Amino acid sequence: MAESNIIIENNDSIRTITINRPKQLNALNSQTINELSEALKDAEKENSVKAIILTGSGEKAFVAGADIKEFASFSVEEGKKLSKEGHDKLFDLAQNLSTPIIAAINGFALGGGLELAMSAHIRVASDNAKMGLPEVSLGVIPGYGGTQRLAQLVGRGKAMEMIATAGMISADDAHNWGLVNHVTTPEGLLEQCNKIAGKIVKNSSSAISLAIIAVNANYVDGVDGFATEIQEFGNCFGTDDFKEGTTAFIERRKANFK
């Protein structure tokens, strides 16, 4: 069996998943996509995991894109099929995962790598990170959700500029444009992500998972986000976490969510 391309580590209820192909700048080949997909599904199933940090190994790259050597020979039909499979298997899966994912962008996040970071719920970048969608320089367009998620995050004009120029932007520009939430030193990156995850895990996981459904509803064609919010808000009242959260407030103690 081929060696695994990801490393999984647990720290209390925070799981860190590291993409581990540093010699290829963590480029996403199909094996890595499959492993990430399984790892996310496993994490979601485990009640003890309340937040996920996703990062790349080495000092240079989060993920330098889809593995160019692998997709160089695809046909039109294969391109369509694999794009759809990739959306289902990893990128939509990540965006809709009920466990929140923080992308720790520790260097180049290009093409499929930036698309993966954009599928996460929260992004933090180190100040040496460079981000871009260089697909058109290879004769393709972003095929793992980049045309949609980049425009949602930074607006249509900036997204068009990044896609059409195939250029890279700095972590500071990404921060100013709203593409990443925070910028840190490379040494401080995982600490900052763990700090955010540490705040998340103290809250109700069931409420967070319903909030993810409600926020994401705004980006699904034909779905009324406000109606989804009303529905999911109502569902909160049937959860143990709601009972615990409100009881703890009344009893003037910290909530202890199971």
Q: Which residues are catalytic?
A: 115, 135
CA separation for the pair 231, 211 (Å, rounded): 11
* Sequence letter at residue 176: N
By CB under 6 A, the residues from 23 to 52 that bind ligand DAK are 24-25, 27
For residues 156 and 160, give the distance between their C-alpha atoms in angstroms, rounded to a whole number.
6
Nearer to ligand DAK, 61 or 212 (CB): 61
- Least spacing, CB of residue 125 vs ligand DAK, in Å: 15
CA quadruple 205, 191, 92, 237: dihedral, nearest 10: 10
Among 68, 93, 160, 255, binds ligand DAK (CB under 6 A): 68
Nearer to ligand DAK, 53 or 117 (CB): 117
Q: State residue 169 phi and psi, 5-degree precision.
A: -115, 155
Distance, CA of 246 to chain centre:
31
CB-hemisphere CA count at 13 Å for 207?
A: 17
Dihedral sign for Cα atoms in the order 10, 14, 15, 16: negative
C-alpha distance from residue 204 to each of 100, 129, 152, 208, 230 (Å):
12, 32, 27, 6, 18
Q: Which of residues 220-239 bind ligand DAK (CB under 6 A)?
A: none
Regarding 62 and contact with ligand DAK (CB under 6 A), the answer is no
Cβ proximity to ligand DAK: between 81 and 199 the closer is 81
* Contact indicator for 94, 119 with CB cutoff of 8 Å: yes
Q: Counting contacts by CB under 6 A, is residue 56 touching ligand DAK?
A: no
Q: Which helix (H) or strand (E) holds 122?
A: strand 122-126
Query: Taking CB under 6 A as the rule, does residue 143 contact ligand DAK?
Result: yes
- Which listed residue (69, 156, 202, 243) binds ligand DAK by CB under 6 A? 69
Contacts with ligand DAK in 110-139 (CB under 6 A)?
A: 110-112, 134-135, 138
Using rule CB under 6 A, residue 91 touches ligand DAK: no
199, containing H or E segment: helix 189-201
Residue 100 or 134 having the CB closest to ligand DAK? 134
- Contact segment (CB under 6 A) with ligand DAK among 35-43, 60-68, 191-199, 227-235 equals 60-68
Contact flag: residue 64 with ligand DAK (CB under 6 A): yes
- Nearer to ligand DAK by C-beta: 22 or 188? 22
Residues near ligand DAK (CB under 6 A): 24-25, 27, 64-69, 71, 74, 79, 82-83, 86, 108, 110-112, 134-135, 138, 143-144
